């Protein structure tokens, strides 16, 4: 008998602790190197299995058609891949900004893949789930695997790493940035030399490495340039992903909240701790125990 109760799963944000663009391939995709780390902050997804076979998103997101929503796409993908007759009712409490570079949509897709694999008892391996995730987006596999990672290729070649788990103040200027617009810009640097993972310095990431997308974004988005210039006065600060969010590094929550209290008006911000293990892992183990 299928349990129709709702189970709750976190869908965490990520940071790119640096992001180097190495080149552009003939197919248009970019080869890159980055380190992904999770945050103890994100959306929450609640899922209940149904017998109808339908995927019902009970909390549609404004401006996003359900069929274009990565949550729905992920749920239908696991149905197609496994041939299950089960469906799901899904609710999301959305707090991660769209167009912020925090990986919200990719994280949502990964959480749904992982959760439904447990709730449907479809028993796909992590490798299989990560492969499905890659068809939805280059950032989905790291969320599926659930560990901080040095990423190469288009972001799908992952090697576990353990950068220090600092506290971060994450700020968002009053703008949203299209990932596609960044990667098609003629101003995007595309020739940063590749790092050998054996030479990677995990203790001085922000001091030694940078975000190539930031170079382009601050040229075209004055809101990002202005906020970044302000933050750098207080702490090492850098844009995450393709922006617009900026993360500032601190040794303690108290220090991060002190600077948060000084922020200019109309800047959205939160304080969160970096995590090398995704909080989804614990939630999945809890669900497995409850279903046993």
pLDDT tens profile 194-228: 999 999 999 999 999 999 999 999 999 999 999 99
Quick check: is 2 in a domain?
no
**Catalytic residue ranges:** 14, 139
Quick check: is 106 in a domain?
yes
Q: CA-CA distance, 257 to 24, in Å (whole number)?
A: 39
Instruction: Grade residue 99 by pLDDT with cuts at 50, 70 and 90.
Output: confident
pLDDT of res. 1:
38
Range of the domain at 115: 7-161+277-291
Q: CA-CA distance, 263 to 198, in Å (whole number)?
A: 38
Cis peptide before 244 (omega within 30 of 0): yes
- CATH number of domain containing 265: 3.30.70.890
Q: CA-CA distance, 136 to 130, in Å (whole number)?
A: 10
Please say if the pLDDT value at position 145 is more than 70: yes
> Does 102 lie in the same domain as 57?
yes
> In Å, what is the CA distance from 28 to each residue of 131, 135, 240?
20, 16, 22
Instruction: Grade residue 80 by pLDDT with cuts at 50, 70 and 90.
Output: very high
Q: What is the mean pLDDT of the segment spanning 69-73?
A: 97
Residue 275 · residue 4 · CB < 8 Å = no
Residue 169 · residue 250 · CB < 8 Å = yes
pLDDT of res. 3:
55
Percent of the chain at pLDDT above 70? 99
Q: What is the pLDDT of residues 227-269, one digit of tens each?
A: 999 999 999 999 999 999 999 999 999 999 999 999 998 899 9
β partners of residue 24: 30
Domain tally for the chain? 2
Residue 221 · residue 173 · CB < 8 Å = yes
pLDDT of res. 251:
98
Q: Select the more confidently predicted residue: 63 or 278.
A: 278
> Structure tokens of 264?
């200019």
β pairing state of 55-57 and 30-50: unpaired
Burial of residue 43 (number of CB atoms within 10 Å: 0-12, 13-18, 19+): buried
> Does 258 lie in the same domain as 286?
no
> Does 149 lie in the same domain as 23?
yes
pLDDT of res. 183:
93
Mean pLDDT of all residues belonging to the chain: 95
Q: CA-CA distance, 185 to 240, in Å (whole number)?
A: 17
> Does 232 lie in the same domain as 281?
no
């Amino acid at each position: 008998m299928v349990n129709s109760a709702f189970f709750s799963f976190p869908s965490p944000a990520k940071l790119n602790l640096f992001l180097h663009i190495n080149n552009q391939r003939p197919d248009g995709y970019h080869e890159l190197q980055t380190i992904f780390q999770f945050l103890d902050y994100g959306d929450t997804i609640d899922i209940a299995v149904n017998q109808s076979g339908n995927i019902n998103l009970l909390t549609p997101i404004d401006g996003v058609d359900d069929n274009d929503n990565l949550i729905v796409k992920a749920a239908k993908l696991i149905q197609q891949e496994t041939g299950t007759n089960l469906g799901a009712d899904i609710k999301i409490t959305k707090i991660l900004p769209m167009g912020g570079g925090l990986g919200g949509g990719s994280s949502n897709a990964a959480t749904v893949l992982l959760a439904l694999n447990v709730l449907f008892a479809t028993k796909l391996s992590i490798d299989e789930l990560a492969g499905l995730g890659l068809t939805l987006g280059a950032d989905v596999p790291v969320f599926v695997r659930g560990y901080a990672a040095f990423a190469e290729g288009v972001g799908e070649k992952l090697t576990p790493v353990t950068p220090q788990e600092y506290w971060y103040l994450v700020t968002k200027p009053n703008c949203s940035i299209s990932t596609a617009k960044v990667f098609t810009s003629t101003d995007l640097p595309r020739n940063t030399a590749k790092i050998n993972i054996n030479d990677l310095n995990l203790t001085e990431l922000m001091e030694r490495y940078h975000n190539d997308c930031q170079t382009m974004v601050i040229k075209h988005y004055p809101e990002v340039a202005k906020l970044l210039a302000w933050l750098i006065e207080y702490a090492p600060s850098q844009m995450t992903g393709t922006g617009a969010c900026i993360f500032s590094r601190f040794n303690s929550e108290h220090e991060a909240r002190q600077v948060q209290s000084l922020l200019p008006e109309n800047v959205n911000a939160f304080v969160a701790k970096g995590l090398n293990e995704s909080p989804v892992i614990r939630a999945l183990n809890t669900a497995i125990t409850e279903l046993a």
